[in-house]
Each structure stands twice: as C-alpha cells, then as structure tokens.
Amino acid sequence: MATSEAALSNQLRKHAAVLPTRAPRRLDKFFIAGVAIALGATFLGIRSSGISIGYFLQPSGAVVVLGGTLGVILVTTPPRNLMHSLRRVTDLIAAVEVDREALIEEIIGYARTARRSGILSLEPIAPKASDPLLRSALQLAVDVSNREELQTVLEAELRMAERQGEADAKTLEVAGGFAPTLGIIGTVIGLIEVLRQFSNPQAVGYGIGTAFVSTIYGLALANLLLLPAAHRIRARVAENFETQELILDGVLSIVDMLHPALIRMRLASFLREPRSVTVAPGAAFYETKA
C-alpha cells in the first residue's frame, strides 16, 4: 500500500511538472511597503536624534552580524532545505495571486464535463488547468479508480507542502533568533578594543558608542527583516493551503459525480467573502447525463 501511494505521489509530481504555473505573479506591495516603512522609520529616528547616519556604518559590526548569521544558517539548515528557503524568500516580493472564484468556476466546468461524458473525458482537457495542483489532481483522478487512494495521496501532498513552508519559516526564525546574540558578540569585541585605549577618555567614549552599533545591526536584522519575513511565509503557506484544500475538495467532488450546484455550495466556504448560494425551489439537482 505504501509503495502504491509513493508511486502515485511521484506520478502526481510528474503531472504537475508538465506545464509551467500560469498563475500571475504580482509585486507584494504591502510586504515591500512594510519593509520600507520599518527601515525608513528607523533611519528617521536616527536622524531626528541628531546622530549622523555615517556613524552607524561600521564594517566590522556588519561582518560579525551578517557573516555570523549566514554561518548559523549553514550549520542549522540542510543544503536542500536552505535552497528552498532562499527561493521562498525571493517569492515574498512577487506573490502568486489565485482568483478563487475563477478557480471554483473552472472546477465546476470540469464537473459538468465529467457528469456529462464520464471521468475519462477529463483526460484531454486536464493538462490545460490553470493551477498545477488542479492539473495533476485531475490527471491522477483519471488514472486512479480508487477514490480513497486518490484522497490519501492528495492529502499527503498538502501536508508535505505545509511542512515545507513551516521549515522555510523556521529557517528565518532561527536566523532571527541568533542575529541579536551575534550583535552582542560584535559589541563585546568592540568593547575589548575600547578597553585597550582606556588611558584616552575621548577615545573610550567614542569607542563604546561604536561598539554598540553591532547590537543595533543584530536587532534590526532580526526584528525588521528575518522575523517579519518568517511570519509572512507562514501567512502565505496558510493561504496556499486553503487554496489547495479547495482544489482537493473540488476534485473529490468531481470523482463523486456530485451535482455542480452542490459543488459550488461546498466550495463557496473557501471564498474570502462568503456569498450566499441559493438554489431555486425545484431546481435541477438531477442533471441528466448525456
């Protein structure tokens, strides 16, 4: 049974790779604006305090914090997971937008075709599905006659995608947890250098201020970039999981040969703004099959 499910999972991934994703990618303006506002507010606060921005440009502190954080990531994250996490970070800037209403209408269209001509009639049109998971799920539904087996494989894929998203978020969280500590290490290194010049009070005062810049680097990297990005990844994963559940429910409804009106009512719960789906008295829940 496990071997069969593994084979079906591999088949599902092959189907998903047949065509590229056609979902439009758009700049995530809120994410970009949030980062810009956070950094801008920080710089504005520095300027308003009368301190020159140039005072905070300390290469030694940046090397300790950035290099140390990168080293921690390499130690704590397997190479394959690290590459996936980096791709996920780049995806934060350009988000894939899925129109759930259009997706539901697309599923309804496949349901009508399946009821009219049988599930095998989806084979030539399934590769044209707009979503990779929908495309692979429809093609697998054509190939697999056992409904429970199909559901098990699709649910396993959803869980795997959710776990991968959590792992990507965890990578950034781990980095965000260590960055402030590395900033403190940079500060301690700077203070050691200051104590060597203890006989010069003016140099000591300037050196202490410079040493604490490393702490600011660590705190800013963690709280303005890494941790917010991790939370954003989790939010994206949750949103994608809902869309994948919609597809799973829709495909299983097609396999069950449910009436398109019933499928629409079931899938309407996945819309951001739930709409009342009404069926006129005596409406055709008994659609004839050609």
pTM: 0.77
Pair 56, 213: CB distance under 8 Å: yes
* Mean of per-residue pLDDT scores for the chain: 82
Task: Decide which of 205 and 107 is more confident.
Answer: 107
Per-domain boundaries in the chain: 2-31+52-270
Q: Is the per-residue pLDDT at 101 higher than 50?
A: yes
Least confident of 187-191, 198-202, 210-214, 247-251: 198-202
Buried b (16+ CB within 10 A) or exposed e, 131-154: bbbbbbbbbbbbebeeeeebebbb
CA distance 276 to 19: 35
- Per-residue pLDDT tens over the stretch 260-278: 999 999 999 888 665 544 4
Q: Is the per-residue pLDDT at 110 higher than 50?
A: yes
pLDDT class for 104, splitting at 50, 70, 90? very high
Q: What pLDDT is stored for residue 24 in this prediction?
A: 64
DSSP 130: S
- Per-residue pLDDT tens over the stretch 218-241: 999 999 999 999 999 999 999 999
